[in-house]
Structure 1
Amino acid sequence: MILRAALTAALLLLPALARAEIDITEVKSPGGLTAWLVEDHDIPFTALEIRFRGGTSLDDPAKRGAIYLMAGLIEEGAGDLDSRGFAEARDALAAHFSFGASADGFSVSARFLTENRDQAVDLLALALNQPRFDEDAVARVREQVLSGLRSDEKDPAVLASRAFDAMAYGEHPYASAGRGSIDTVQALTRADMVVAHKAALARDRVYISAAGDITAEELGLMMDRLLGALPETGAPQPGRAPWLLKPGVTVIDFPSPQSLVTFGHEGIAQDDPDFFAAYILNEVMGGGRFSARLMNEVRDKRGLTYGIGSYLIGMDHSESVMGQFSASNDKVAEAIAVIRAEWQKIAAEGIAEKELAETKTYLTGAYPLRFDGNAPIASILVGMQMQGMPIDYPNTRNARIEAVTMDDVKRVAARLFRPEALHFVVVGRPEGVTSEP
């Protein structure tokens, strides 16, 4: 679940307006595709990001893990090139391609030099449109996935996340792991990869961005070369996820001197008018700084854990406020009590004027190194599109943060933080903590 927070955090911690303005151009291809572009000819290379909405949530339930496995096979041979031939062709061009599948999207990332752009684009087009899915490649990558799934059975964080999702989402795809289970992945075949490819990669769900040494005209032509032959439509989206998790505690027995605890409840959508107030509130409660309330109360004052945080997690079909920490088994009960108390306190009292001012200063002044360069910028742009943000968001975001008032945070605190709704999933052998209700 922490990974789900990464996109929201990346989108919000954009460069401060006072330090940098991002000039984004909307590009239309001759074939009707749309992209966002930040043009920069200082360095002769381009970063390209492509996202297809849907991701592993589009799996046939009986074929869970198919899209995730398919993502690992895209680069394992295409057209007349087998796996080795494709890798050699890519390396000869000094190009970089990566493919991945998350719960809500199928991602394609590419970087290539201007001098090799045409050849690199042709090779990438081959991978996207004519993947081979050779039987030996399917068997090899499938075993890699299975190895990871076996390791997951010994990972408390994975076990906690699985249990939380299963209880929260019922029959929705979010309720089960996008990588599938050992049983479903073992049964996947080459034919399943072909079906998964058609389900996930389609023109009706694609988002594109680029940054670097390329013009709008060149990008428009490139988009059609890469994506023009893909199916117009893919598998239907799964729809809104229910929230079925009731308040309480779930303990999963795990032989360890420490327990891993995941906790949370429903959250707030990023397009909600109260979102920026909620974002500030969560930064005060459990953001990445040592001054956050949870770090102060649970870690610094009481020494119950080494680290703890909370996150606003926005997915396509659900929103949540989540947190996680590890603690020795004899300290878990006290840590849970402190978290509940802090949840209650902020809901009832909001935050202090000093906390609001300091958090605004931090959020508007932050300039994370992850946004320094063509590849990070391209990734941010495609994320903005998928979140439905306006094209001028990087240059207006700080004003939205500054516009949040004390009245806003007081009102939204009572809406966002609901101590009576918290559920804790504890993986370990905590002392004095049992499953409830």
Structure 2
Amino acid sequence: MMKGAMFLTAKFAAILLVVTAVAAAGRPAAGSEIVEVTSPGGVTAWLKQEEAIPMIAVSAIWRDGGAVSDPEGKAGRANLVSALLDEGAGEMDSQSFQTRLEEHGVRLSFEAGRDTFGMSLQTLTQNAGEAFRLAGLALTSPRFDADAIERMRQQILIRIARDLQNPNAIAGRVFSEVAFGDDPYGRSIDGTQESVTAIARDDLTGFVDNQLAKDRLIVGVVGDISPEDLKPLLDVAFGGLTETAAPAAEDKAELRQPGVRRVVPYDTPQTVFVFGAPGLARDDPDYEAARVMNHILGGGGFSSLLTEEIREKRGLTYGVYSYLRPMDRAALWLGGLSTSNDKAGEALDLLKETIRRFREEGPSDEQIEKAKANINGAFPLSLTSNRAIADLLVALQRYDLGKDYVERRPELINAVTREDVMRVAEDLLNLDRLIVTAVGLPEGLAEKTSETQ
């Protein structure tokens, strides 16, 4: 669980300001000089050395360590662990551990995703030894003190209760339940009030012992550190981990109820929609074509067709969007919008009509060229910090994209043709498979099962 307050010394904060200024001036992002580093203990990381600023960013994930690993009846376990790993480790209780981080200007956080468990570490180069040591303590010797467990449990329960009153959160949760049923993908990462309450200390230690293992670990490092200096530090942080993780599910997760519309009555002035259909895996040869297709249809902000038709021409919503969501055991094309209750039926009809027309007629050559230019132009702007580049290094390894992907990516995007976009649209934009969840008091809208039209 990412925590809002991270400790920063005045010196560290000042250097962060310098980093921001350099990034704004257009500091080059990750290039081809990515080096694979292997520690004496066998821990491997990809390193992008950047000597301009005396800082280091580390991103790490564990495959299959996210919410998918939560035991039956204990949904939210990985998330609770992520909230507790920096709440005391070794001989240091929560306050002592946080003070130690603060004294050395170290930012350390953990986060549970659906498929993966992640760690982020940022430090001044001069404090790298202590930063990696503290990360290693958190990973291998977390205290899981009773008071810390209950404090973080209560914070999560409060968030769960708040989400039960949030139409956007309700729509997302119900979509997952409809799409995946009792599969782990159908559960909330946070869990439920019942499942989080049921998690015991032994469940937390079991997660660390069985999920945070070297064979599932992927590490990316960016900053002012050489390969030789990084090698021993990798063992300091990760060398004490279990060698092999518990077996993970390998079967694919299929959408259980394609074509279903689920309406959740909720007393609010607006209806919130989440919609989606089967998508493409990240390693699918057509993924870049799907990226271009989605940008034109709903991922390009104010330039997208859905925004033009539903917001600009009809004024039915302040925002509508779509995006690709590849996961390890399934892939989705997802989107959302909100509108006044009395316009809900009209908005959904227009959404479906715009999707249908795009699938049948496709985009113009001009729309395709603009989408390519926007996608290629936006990508470097997302890599203006060491943290962002470290995350990219992890993604390159996770999806086996290669060290030269950043250089090849514009060519891959530019190679997409209109025929590619039409082929992908034909596959993904099948309205018979579109799942829709609506939260509010929508007019002109009824539930639909997969058997009804």
TM-score (norm 1): 0.93
Q: Does 1:300 find its partner at 2:312? A: yes
**Which stretches of structure 1, 4 residues or more, deviate above 6 A after TM superposition?**
none
Cα pair 2:59 2:390 within 8 Å, conserved: yes
Task: Indicate how the Cα distance of structure 1 residues 20 and 131 shifts in structure 2: closer, same or farther if over 3 A, else same.
Answer: closer
| Counterpart residue number, 2:81 | 70
User: Does 202-211 or 402-411 show the bigger shift?
Assistant: 402-411
1:184 pairs with 192, 195, 214, which one? Answer: 195
- Match of 2:57, SS state, is strand
| Counterpart residue number, 2:283 | 271
2:242 pairs with 222, 231, 254, which one? Answer: 231
- Residue identity matched to 1:267: G
Cα pair 1:170 1:242 within 8 Å, conserved: no
| Counterpart residue number, 1:163 | 174
Whole-angstrom distance in 2 between the partners of 1:306 and 1:312: 21
1:244 pairs with 256, 262, 271, which one? Answer: 256
Q: Does 1:262 find its partner at 2:268? A: no
Cα pair 1:201 1:231 within 8 Å, conserved: yes
Could you tell me how far 1:121 is from its partner in structure 2?
1.4
| Counterpart residue number, 2:154 | 143
Cα pair 2:170 2:439 within 8 Å, conserved: yes
Task: Indicate how the Cα distance of structure 1 residues 37 and 197 shifts in structure 2: closer, same or farther if over 3 A, else same.
Answer: same
- Match of 2:342, SS state, is coil
Structure 1 stretches lacking a partner, 5+ long: 1-15
Could you tell me how far 1:224 is from its partner in structure 2?
1.5
Task: Indicate how the Cα distance of structure 1 residues 227 and 381 shifts in structure 2: closer, same or farther if over 3 A, else same.
Answer: same
Could you tell me how far 1:20 is from its partner in structure 2?
7.4
| Counterpart residue number, 1:389 | 401
- Residue identity matched to 2:351: I
RCO (CA 8 Å, sep 6+): is it higher in 1 or 2?
1
2:293 pairs with 281, 285, 288, which one? Answer: 281
Cα pair 1:93 1:116 within 8 Å, conserved: yes
1:28 pairs with 35, 38, 55, which one? Answer: 38
Could you tell me how far 1:22 is from its partner in structure 2?
4.4
Cα pair 1:259 1:328 within 8 Å, conserved: yes
Could you tell me how far 1:423 is from its partner in structure 2?
1.9
Whole-angstrom distance in 2 between the partners of 1:20 and 1:382: 12
Pairing 1:34-433 to 2, within 5 Å after superposition:
34-54=44-64, 55-239=66-250, 240-367=252-379, 369-433=381-445
User: Does 318-327 or 368-377 show the bigger shift?
Assistant: 368-377
- Residue identity matched to 2:223: G
User: Does 59-68 or 318-327 show the bigger shift?
Assistant: 59-68
- Match of 2:447, SS state, is coil
Could you tell me how far 1:367 is from its partner in structure 2?
4.6
| Counterpart residue number, 1:4 | none
Please list the CA deviations of residues 80-121 of structure 1 after superposition, one character each: whole Å capped at 9, or x if unmatched.
Answer: 000000011111111110111111111110111111111221
Whole-angstrom distance in 2 between the partners of 1:20 and 1:226: 24
Could you tell me how far 1:66 is from its partner in structure 2?
1.2
User: Does 227-236 or 93-102 show the bigger shift?
Assistant: 227-236
Whole-angstrom distance in 1 between the partners of 2:29 and 2:39: 32
- Match of 2:165, SS state, is coil
Cα pair 1:95 1:112 within 8 Å, conserved: yes
Structure 2 stretches lacking a partner, 5+ long: 1-25
| Counterpart residue number, 2:20 | none
Task: Indicate how the Cα distance of structure 1 residues 62 and 215 shifts in structure 2: closer, same or farther if over 3 A, else same.
Answer: same
Cα pair 2:89 2:138 within 8 Å, conserved: yes
User: Does 39-48 or 216-225 show the bigger shift?
Assistant: 216-225
Whole-angstrom distance in 2 between the partners of 1:385 and 1:45: 23
Task: Indicate how the Cα distance of structure 1 residues 20 and 102 shifts in structure 2: closer, same or farther if over 3 A, else same.
Answer: closer
Whole-angstrom distance in 2 between the partners of 1:346 and 1:370: 29
Could you tell me how far 1:338 is from its partner in structure 2?
0.9
Whole-angstrom distance in 1 between the partners of 2:431 and 2:313: 21
User: Does 232-241 or 52-61 show the bigger shift?
Assistant: 232-241
Whole-angstrom distance in 2 between the partners of 1:206 and 1:21: 23
Whole-angstrom distance in 1 between the partners of 2:125 and 2:324: 39
User: Does 217-226 or 314-323 show the bigger shift?
Assistant: 217-226
Cα pair 2:258 2:432 within 8 Å, conserved: no
Whole-angstrom distance in 2 between the partners of 1:288 and 1:409: 15
- Residue identity matched to 1:407: E
Cα pair 1:58 1:199 within 8 Å, conserved: no
TM-score (norm 2): 0.90
- Residue identity matched to 1:327: T
Cα pair 2:300 2:371 within 8 Å, conserved: no
Whole-angstrom distance in 1 between the partners of 2:388 and 2:291: 22
Could you tell me how far 1:270 is from its partner in structure 2?
1.5
- Match of 1:262, SS state, is strand
Say how many residue pairs are matched. Answer: 421
Task: Indicate how the Cα distance of structure 1 residues 246 and 347 shifts in structure 2: closer, same or farther if over 3 A, else same.
Answer: same
- Residue identity matched to 2:355: W
- Match of 1:61, SS state, is coil
Could you tell me how far 1:368 is from its partner in structure 2?
5.5
Please list the CA deviations of residues 12-69 of structure 1 after superposition, one character each: whole Å capped at 9, or x if unmatched.
Answer: xxxx9x9974421121222222211110111111111111112111011122111110
Cα pair 1:73 1:133 within 8 Å, conserved: yes
Whole-angstrom distance in 2 between the partners of 1:184 and 1:406: 48
Whole-angstrom distance in 2 between the partners of 1:91 and 1:22: 34
